[in-house]
Amino acid sequence: MLVEESLAALALEADGYYVDATFGRGGHTARILEALGGEGRVLAIDQDAEAIAAGRARFAHEVRLTLVHAPFAELATLVPAHSGGRPCRGVLFDLGVSSPQLDDPARGFSFRADGPLDMRMDATRGEPISAWLAHAGFDEIREVIATLGEERFARRIAAAIVNTRGEHPITRTRELAEICSRAVRTREPGKHPATRTFQALRMFVNDELGQLERGLVAAADVLSVGGRLVVITFHSLEDRLVKRFMQNASRVDPELARLPIIPESAEPRFRLVGRKTRPSDAERARNPRSRSAMLRVVERVR
């Protein structure tokens, strides 16, 4: 998604060291490697073991690539551990779930196909969302669906979940989708009534906003001067967080801005590069999932 735009935003140098924080199936990584020379290197990270296994098979002979199974919130330790002291010239985040994750009913992300209600990107940690739904309180469930899904009918959906689980555990995606369909009163055009609830629960079980916050801070720290931070988001909550982070990083601390002489430590570490970018009409037509994608870029200046 936004592949050409994100490659341009990285302003690749042939012998640079780059981090793809969300490897997925390696679409972006492949294009970065194509643009790099023999001395260029990529560290690619994904918290999904299946993504890393597929990447190891696809890039078995690629000596310029290191693949790591880890959450990107750990970038601050991963980069020094793998870079051999090379300056990091760019970090790319292409957030959200990958098509293989969405399309495999066994992963439990999709309300369109029946599968176990899991939704974890890293199935080796934590508990599936079905386990959380079995023990969480009504208010907790309502709050998650309301805030992370921006769902107007969160109260009705949470009540229906609590009622149903009183009869039997909710363990399948189809059942949860049906609960949502019954509880959501007004239909949004082109949107399944379970869309917002599934998004909310997925974001919650993977701590997506917490990961993003820690990942951005870590990426900002590991970049060298001149290095680019490029982020593709998929919905407004993520984009708001990225926008705020980039704006704050690119301006003088407002408290200190009033001083007659601004101390160097208060100068911004980043500058904004261009405005937000959306996928072209052609990409949106080709790939409806790209509809709400947004790309933002900053460059480290000190």
User: Which residues would be at the binding site for ligand SAM (CB under 6 A)?
Assistant: 22, 24-28, 45-48, 51, 71-72, 94, 96-98, 121, 211
Min dist. Cβ of residue 51 to ligand SAM (A): 4
Least Å distance between CB 261 and ligand SAM? Answer: 40
Of 67 and 154, nearer to ligand SAM (C-beta) is: 67
Q: Which is nearer to ligand SAM, 178 or 283 (CB)?
A: 283
Rounded least distance, CB 18 to ligand SAM, Å:
13
Spatial separation of the C-alpha atoms in residues 297 and 11, rounded to whole Å: 11
Distance CA 270, CA 175 (A): 47
Tell me whether residue 2 or residue 157 sits nearer to ligand SAM (CB atom): 2
Q: Which positions ≥6 away from 115 have C-beta within 8 Å?
A: 104, 105, 106, 107, 108, 172, 173
Closest approach, Cβ 99 to ligand SAM, in A, equals: 8
Which bin fits 226, alpha (ψ -120 to 50), beta or left (φ > 0)?
A: left
Nearer to ligand SAM, 193 or 215 (CB): 215
What number of other Cβ atoms are within 10 A of residue 118's Cβ? Answer: 20
Report in angstroms how near the CB of residue 68 gets to ligand SAM at its nearest. Answer: 9
- Nearest approach, Cβ of 210 to ligand SAM (angstroms)? 9
Q: Which two tokens stand for residue 56?
A: 């190891």
Cβ nearer to ligand SAM, comparing 97 with 161: 97
Dihedral-angle region of residue 188 (phi above 0 means left; psi in -120 to 50 means alpha; beta otherwise): beta
Q: Nearer Cβ to ligand SAM, position 44 or 157?
A: 44
CB closer to ligand SAM, 180 vs 230: 230
Is the Cβ–Cβ distance between 183 and 239 less than 8 Å? Answer: no
CB of 195 to ligand SAM, least distance (A): 17
145-164 burial by CB neighbour count: b if 16+ within 10 A, else e?
Answer: bbebbebebbbbbbbbbeeb
* Range 68-90 burial, b when 16+ CB lie within 10 A, else e: bbebbbbbbebbeeebeebebbb
Q: List the alpha helices (DSSP H) in the chain.
A: 3-10, 27-35, 49-58, 75-83, 99-103, 129-135, 138-149, 154-167, 173-183, 195-205, 208-222, 236-249, 281-286
Between 157 and 220, CB nearer to ligand SAM: 220
Radius of gyration, alpha carbons of the chain: 21
Query: Please, what is the minimum distance in Å from the beta carbon of residue 70 to ligand SAM?
Result: 7
